[in-house]
Chains A and B, each alone.
Chain A
Amino acid sequence: MVDYVKITLDIVTMLVMTALGFAIGMLFNGIARKITARIHNRVGPPIYQGYIDVLKLFTKKTNISHGWIFDFAALFSVAGIALAFLFLPVAGFSLLSGEGDLFLILYLLAIPALGFALGAGASGNPNAAVGIMRALMSMLAYELPLVMVIIAMMVHYDTTSLAVIVQKQANFHWALFIPVFFIGALVADMALQGMLMEKPFDIPIAPHEIASGPMVEFGGKHLGALMLYKMMGIVVETTLFVDLFLGGGVVLSVTHYGWIAYIVNFLVWFALIFFVFFIALLINAVFPRFRIEQALKFYWKYDALVALLILIWIFAGVNV
């Protein structure tokens, strides 16, 4: 017997969560610009500027397309990032989740970037080709230390499920408070900086060098979709970090407190992802841009080396 009520309710919840993710992403865009402006001693735009920008892009009259792959790529990015968001435990509450979902999330995080690459390739602009080459290069660079830290966490918590990792960190047994994973969190935070494409790792979309790289031919509704992808990306990537190291924002147990726990956990999750994003923002506001080989050297020489030491430490600790 198929439970249609439950399925319908699940679909509605998913749609609401996706809309909420986009709304938070757009809010973060506005807050980021405001904070950056205050650091530069400017007034800055209002914090609802992200909403205005996206709505304006969707109300543009003409849309120049470069074939169906170009149209498809923008949708591909948005859908990929929304799917990744639904698989993540948000405040301990995951909608789509199975066994071993950490591998799946790592895979899903690469999909939107590939969509991005498809669109850039279809536009045929040389700046886009250079940009996407840099994007895939920096993805290669930051994934190595990040994956090594994540494998260390999998070995430590003896699971490949992100939901279980979040559960085991309940009651403030955060991974951040374990000394070796405190260093791991620093390594992952540097990888997060590259993932969020904030300075000094905003090499793929360097507006002054390669005219915003992969986005060079995008405009109007296509650019609106890509901006939604970028804004949702902020939420997804910071949530991954919070789930791994900061207990996913779970402070009250749902079994004891009921629906109040959902609201409190959700607010704590929001505060934590904002805090993680805020750190990235402060680094972004004061640093210039790396060249691609400098970023690669940074990640593979220092970040990956520390991650490797953590991995060796964890394996030795388990075996001895």
Chain B
Amino acid sequence: MNHEEWSKLARIMSKRSLWMVHFCTGCGAMEMPPVMTSRYDMERFGMHAMATPRQADVFLVTGYLAVKTLKRVVQVYEQMRDPKYVIGFGSCTINGGMYWDSYNTIKDLSKYIPVDVYIAGCMPRPEAIIDSFLKLMDMIDKGEAIGWQKYRKYYDQYKRNQRMAFSYRLDEVKDIKEDDENES
């Protein structure tokens, strides 16, 4: 069995057994119980919610992220084992949604951690969530869900964006910018 066949087999296994850790930051948490329980039953696809990021494959960020919450999100993401996938849930993770002009929420999640699939809507219905899971499985099967490889490759860019978001004082932002110029 050569490497290509082996990784294809690994992808098939990974696709049919996605364990999820859902980071319920906003109102999106409300849509998860119907997805997990008897009405929409995501266990049909071998998915179920895990208690800790160490055991999980899929990271579901439900809703808006304050800067403080983003720190925890990054920690959780970095604790997960490769290969790992991220689903951004709701408009808030795409462009800030109804918090578009808020001073303390981040607007675009994919600047801080790589997002494989976005679900648009406010709120997305459980059908949309199931659809995104199927889309993610399809992407894993084709080898397109490579967010975790991107995070390794562009680690310094992601870290820079995270540092920029965390430092709320203007002078600190300036310092980081100067550091980056010095480094380059």
Task: Using CB atoms and an 8 Å cutoff, list the residues of chain A in contact with chain B.
Answer: 33, 37, 40-46, 49, 52-53, 55-56, 59-64, 207-208, 211-212, 215-220, 223
| B10 within 8 Å of A (CB atoms) | yes
Interface stretch, picked from B11-19, B109-117, B156-164, is B11-19
Q: Of B14, B16, B44, B80, which is within 8 A of A43 by CB?
A: B44
CA distance A260 to B89 in the complex (A): 58
Check B51–A208 contact: CB distance below 8 A.
yes
Contact yes or no, A37 B13, CB < 8 A: no
Please give, as numbers and ranges, the residues of chain B lying within 8 Å of A55 by CB-CB distance: 13
Q: For A52, list chain B residues within 8 Å (CB).
A: 13, 16-17, 46
Q: How many Å lie between the Cα of A56 and that of B51 in the bound state?
A: 18
B52 with A216: CB separation less than 8 A: yes
Instruction: Describe B's contact surface by its main secondary structure.
Output: loop
- A45-B44, A212-B52 known; A59+B13 contact, CB < 8 A: yes
Among residues of B, the one whose C-beta sits closest to the C-beta of A53 is: B17
CA distance A208 to B16 in the complex (A): 24
B38 touches A41 (CB 8 A): yes
Given A216-B52, A219-B54, the answer on whether A60 and B81 have CB atoms closer than 8 Å is yes
Whether B83 pairs with A61 at a CB distance below 8 angstroms is yes
Beyond A44-B43, A45-B43, A53-B46, whether A62 also contacts B13 by CB under 8 A is no
Chain A residues with CB below 8 A from B46, complex form: 45-46, 49, 52-53
Taking Cβ atoms with an 8 Å cutoff, the residues of B that contact A are 9-10, 13-14, 16-17, 37-38, 41, 43-46, 50-52, 54-55, 57, 79-83
Q: How far is the CA of A49 from the CA of B17 in the complex (A)?
A: 8
In the complex, what residue of chain B is closest to A210 when comparing beta carbons? B51
List 15 additional A-B contacts (Cβ < 8 Å) besides A61-B83, A62-B81, A219-B81. A33-B43, A43-B43, A43-B44, A45-B43, A45-B46, A46-B46, A52-B46, A56-B13, A56-B17, A60-B83, A62-B82, A216-B51, A216-B52, A219-B54, A223-B55
Q: Main secondary structure on chain A at its contact with chain B? A: loop
Our pick among A44, A53, A212, A216 for the contact of B41 (Cβ within 8 Å) is A44
* B81 adjacent to A211 (CB under 8 Å): no
- Are the C-beta atoms of A42 and B37 separated by less than 8 Å? yes
Please give me the residue from chain B that is nearest to A55 by CB atom. Answer: B13
- Least CB distance from B42 to A in Å reads 10
Q: Given A52-B17, A53-B17, A208-B51, A61 and B81 touching (CB < 8 A)?
A: yes
Interfacial chain A residues near B50, Cβ < 8 Å: 207, 212
Chain A nearest CB from B25 CB (Å) reads 18
Contact status A56-B41, CB under 8 Å: no
Q: A52-B17, A60-B83, A62-B81 are in contact. Are A40 and B37 (CB under 8 A)?
A: yes
Is the Cβ of B81 less than 8 Å from the Cβ of A215? no
Residue of B nearest to A60 (CB): B81
- List residues of chain B with CB within 8 A of the CB of A215: 55
On chain A, the residues within 8 Å of B82 by CB distance are 60-62
Residues from chain A with a CB closer than 8 A to the CB of B54 are 64, 216-219, 223
> Please, which residues of chain A bring their CB within 8 A of the CB of B43?
33, 37, 42-45
- A268 CB to closest chain B CB (Å) equals 32
Q: Which residues of B contact A46 (CB under 8 A)?
A: 46
14 A–B contacts from the bound complex (CB under 8 Å)? A41-B38, A43-B41, A44-B41, A44-B43, A45-B46, A49-B46, A56-B16, A59-B14, A60-B81, A207-B50, A219-B52, A219-B55, A219-B80, A219-B81
Whole-angstrom distance from the CB of B101 to the nearest CB of chain A? 36
Query: What's the minimum C-beta distance from A6 to chain B, rounded to whole angstroms?
Result: 34
